[in-house]
């Protein structure tokens, strides 16, 4: 799956989490910061994680991705980092043995 498609998916999910009206004021790009630009709070990260799990299934572990970060990394997290993570997770093909 390409980055543009994933970015569009994330933008739709963000609209569900924080509201379409709020997103009218923010252009969601790969450089958009979750904390600084979107002002996402922890409960909204949880809601976003739930939507990602519904959309991508267990292949994308957003909670695990966040768990490997310290607080400063989470505060600085950008949409592009999440898009890259999703792209990487979806590109991993389970081996059949």
Average pLDDT, the chain: 91
Task: Summarize pLDDT for 21-58 with one digit per residue, the tens.
Answer: 888 888 999 999 999 999 999 899 899 999 999 999 99
DSSP the chain: --HHHHHHHHHHHHHHHH-HHHHTT----TT-BTTTTT---HHHHHHHHHHHHHHHGGG--HHHHHHTS-HHHHHT-BHHHHHHHHHHHHHPPPP--
- Residue 94 pLDDT class (50, 70, 90 cuts): low
Which pTM value belongs to this model?
0.88
């Amino acid at each position: 799956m390409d980055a543009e498609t994933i970015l569009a998916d994330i933008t739709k999910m963000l609209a569900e989490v924080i509201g379409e009206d709020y997103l009218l004021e923010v252009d969601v790009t790969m450089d958009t910061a979750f904390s600084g630009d979107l002002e996402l709070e922890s409960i909204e990260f949880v809601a976003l994680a739930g939507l990602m799990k519904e959309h991508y299934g267990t292949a994308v572990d957003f909670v695990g991705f966040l768990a490997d970060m310290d607080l400063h990394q989470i505060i600085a997290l950008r949409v592009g980092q999440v898009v890259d993570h999703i792209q990487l997770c979806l590109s991993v093909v389970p081996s059949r043995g």
